[in-house]
Homo-oligomer: A and B are copies of this chain.
Amino acid sequence: MSTTTSFFIPVQEQIHRVEGLMRSQAEGHNPDLKAALDHLIASGGKRIRPTLTILTGRMLGADEDRAVTLAAAIELLHTATLVHDDLIDGSLLRRGIPTLNSRWSPGATVLTGDFLFARAAKLAADTESVPAISLFATTLGIIVNGEITQLFNSRCRADREEYYQRIYAKTASLFETCTTCAALISPVDQETTDLVRQYGYDIGMAFQIIDDVFDFTSDQSKLGKPVGSDLRQGLITLPTLHFLENHPDDEDAQEIISGDCLYYDEQVGRLVEKIRASDAIASSLVEANNYVDQALEKLQRLPACPERSYLEELTLYITRRNV
């Protein structure tokens, strides 16, 4: 099993088209929107979601233009949610690049996110698949509902079930939408659609667990924010859950388990260090790898083809990538 990123190569041209389609959404609109969109696209990530969408679509026989349109819709939706997230969190940098809200007023930032939602919805409509459009809208509702729940109800909650629901809403729901919508625009049966839906779910869950691990194991220069910033904001993720379960007698852990937040920087910093040094990291990685194994098992049930091999690579990359 390789850990290369060569799966990006066969979709390079399509990803280029996805970015072009995203960029074109500001055409005929306010020039400031065009500037904002160019900035957001230039500071985009690795385009893992569009890559997943296009490889799945190609594997299942989707029309390439529709798959590119769908991938652009999904990546624009993802971009829109990040614009509002960064505003709400007051984040000034993302991937080391200034966020929109670091330069624009809150009002302009809210409206830019809204505009991106609108154009993402238009791109989804351009796939002309009512089931795909419908799932797309449902998923946006799930993502936003998850954010509201996190805002209102998640602070300092050490609850495993709540954690899985949260990372489903935050990340796995959109990965699931990538693969499911790709199936919905392809000539495949319900069984195949269900299979790739579960595959998307599995890699989405793994992806977010790894992100939550990185928040402890990486360093500030790579993260673009302090190590342990989730915990510093009162957000209990999988490494902390494992630590609490394995060290219930730790005095900082006891405070959290009893439903309190750690209000002192020093105390949070100490707990972050304890978690980094503990087996909680390895236990979390085991969980992520279990999801990866389940994802690979689902792929095995599909006919062998070059795209399936690339998706296997992509799946392994989820847990082996850097931040």
Interface residues of chain A, those whose CB is within 8 Å of chain B, are 29-30, 32-33, 81, 84, 87-88, 105-108, 110-115, 117-119, 121-122, 124-126, 128, 130, 133-134, 136-138, 140-141, 143-145, 147-149, 151-153
B84–A114 touching, CB < 8 Å: yes
**How far apart are the CA atoms of A33 and B141 in the complex, in Å?**
11
Say which residue of B88, B115, B126, B130 sits within 8 Å of A110 (CB atoms): B88
- Among B32, B115, B118, B145, the residue within 8 A (CB) of A29 is B145
Classify the interface of chain A: helix, strand, loop or mixed.
helix
Known A-B contacts A110-B110, A148-B32; A141 and B126 likewise in contact (beta carbons under 8 Å): no
With A84-B111, A147-B111, A151-B111 as given contacts, are A141 and B125 in contact (CB-CB < 8 Å)? no
B105, B106, B137: the one contacting A118 at CB < 8 Å is B137
Residues of chain B lying within 8 A (CB to CB) of residue A113: 110, 114
Check B152–A32 contact: CB distance below 8 A.
yes
Supposing A125-B134, A125-B137, A130-B125 touch, asked if A107 and B151 sit within 8 A by C-beta, the answer is yes
The answer to whether residues A87 and B108 also contact, given A118-B141, A141-B29 and a CB cut-off of 8 A, is no
Contact between B128 and A115, CB atoms less than 8 A apart: no
Contact of A148 among B88, B115, B122 (CB under 8 A): B115
Are B111 and A148 within 8 A (Cβ)?
A: yes
Name A135's closest neighbour in chain B (CB-CB).
B125
Pairwise interchain contact A134-B144, C-beta atoms closer than 8 A: no
Q: Shortest Cβ distance from A223 into chain B, in angstroms?
A: 22
Which residues of the partner chain B approach A108 to less than 8 Å between Cβ atoms?
A: 148, 151-152
Closest 9 CB pairs of A and B: A88-B107, A118-B140, A121-B137, A118-B141, A122-B137, A125-B134, A115-B144, A29-B145, A114-B144
